[in-house]
Structure 1
C-alpha cells in the first residue's frame, strides 16, 4: 500500500492472512480512519475464516473504515460476467456487509447496472428498453452533480500549481513542497483532461443537431469572402439544384440498373429474426466516440455494457 505522508499520517499497520490494514489520521482532521486492502481467498473454508477475521477487525474499535481491493466475490449473479456463480458465497458476502453495517460505494458502471435493473412500467420490449435508458440517464444525472464543481477544481489546482512555480523561481523548494507542487500540477492536468473530453462530446452532439445551420453559415461566409453576391432566395435554389442532382445520380445508379428479383432464399434471410451475433457485429462496426443518438448514448455505451443490456436489446429486435 502506498500513501502520501503529507496527507495521511499512519500510526499503526496490521498484517492479516488476507488483508493489510493501516490506521491513522488525515492531515488537518482529528478523526481516525482505517484503510483495509483485501485479497479474498477462493475456497469456502478460507472464505469463512476471511469474513470472520474481517468482522472481528472492524468491531475491534469504533472509527471510520474503508475496505478496498479484490474480495473475489460478488453480491449477485448480475455482477458476474462469466457463468461461474456461487450463491452461497454471495450470501456470505452480503451477510458480512450487513452485519458490519458497511456501505457499498457505487462506481460508474455499478450505477448503470442498478439503474438498468430498476422496476419499470410497460411490457412492450421497445418501451422496456426506452424506460431503462431513461432510468440510467436520471441516475447518471444525479451522480454527475459531483462534476458540476469541475471548473472550480481546475481553477483551484491551477492557482496552487502556479503559486508553487512562482515560489520555485525565487528559491529552491523543499522535498515536501515539491511533492505538493507536483500533486497540484497532476490534479490540474487530470481535471482539464476530463473537461476536454466533456467538451468534445458536447461538440459532437451540437454538430449533429446544428450541422445544417452551421454548414449554411460557413457556406455564406465563404461566398462573401470570395466576393460572390448572394441573391435573395439563393439557398432554396441551391437546395433544389442539389435535390435534382441527387435524383439524377439515383436514377443512374439504381433505376437504370437491373438488380433482378429477390429469391426465396433472400426473402427468408431478410424476413428472419435478428440473431444476437448479428446485432453485436453491427454495434461493433460503429465508431465508439461518435455523437449520441436520440437516446442520449453513444455506441461506446452499448459496446461496454453489452453483457448487461443484450437480453433486452435482442427482445426488442425480436418484437420489431
Structure 2
C-alpha cells in the first residue's frame, strides 16, 4: 500500500510548475492512490488525469471546486485497489473497495476540512455518521484544516475548542494517527511566518494491524504551501532503472561521434551474443560519462537548493526566522524555480517515456 496526499493549492492552466511537480511525484513514488485537495477546478477530464498519472492504467473520481476554493480528486491504480463504490459529502470524497491480495473491504477518504466553526461541527458529524457503516478498514487523509494540540501551530491562533472537537472525533471513531516522519509542520505560509500541521493520515485499528510496518512521512514542499505526505506499508524494490536516452544529449552533435566510437571498439570473444552485449555496455558507459555531466550538475544544484530550503524550514520548527534569514530562504526558493524551469524539457520527455 502506498498513498500520497497533497493540498496542491490549485491545478489551473497558469500553474504548469505545480502540474509538472505532481507528475514527478507520481512518477518517482509510484503510489497506488493519489489524493489531491484544493484542485480549484470545476471540471476534470480523462486527458488531464492521464497526463498526471503518466499512463492509462488509472481510475478516478473528483469533486468540483466551489468558486475559487476547494476541489477534491482521487486517482488510483485499479490493479492494486478494486473499487466497488464511492462516498461523497460536502468536505470529503472517498472510494470503497478491496486491496488486491487482501481480504475485507476498505474505505479511503480524501478530506479538505472547513474553516468555519459551525461547518467544522457538521464536518466531524458527517465523518462520524459515514463511519457507522460496518467496514473494518478506514484510511482518512488530507488537509483537515485543524490541529490536535497547541504545539502543532506556530505564530498563528490556536483555538482549544476546535482542537477538542477534532480529538473527540478521533477518539469516538477509534482512529489511530500515523506519526509523520520528517518535518514538524506540513503547512508554511507564503511569507514564511506561520506554520502548522494540518495534513495527516488517520487509520482504523484493524487497518493498522493488517498492514505490516505501516508508516508515514512528509515529502519536499516545492510548489505548494503544503507538504505532500505519504503512507506506505513497506519499501518496494522494482529492480534496476532502465537506461534513458534524452533529446538534449544530441543538441551539440558530439554524442553521435561518441556512440560510433564506442560501438566500433573491438570486442575479443567468439560469441556473437557477447559481442553485442559488450558493445551496448560500451555505449552505455560513454553516454553516462560524457553526456550526463550537465544534467547531473543541474540536478546537484537543484538538490543543493532543495537542501537549503529544507534546512530553513526545519529551523522554522524550532524558532522564528530573522528578516535576513527569511530573505535567504525566499532567495533560495526563487533560484530553485529558475533551475527547475531549465529542467522542464527533460521532465516532459520523461513523462512521455512512462
Instruction: Return the structure number with greater strand share.
Output: 2
TM bin, normalised by shorter chain, reads: 0.3 to 0.5
For the pair shown, the structure with the greater C-alpha radius of gyration is: 1
Q: Which has the higher contact order (CA 8 A, sep 6+)?
A: 2
TM-score normalised by length of structure 2: 0.36
TM-score normalised by length of structure 1: 0.39
Instruction: Return the structure number with greater helix share.
Output: 1
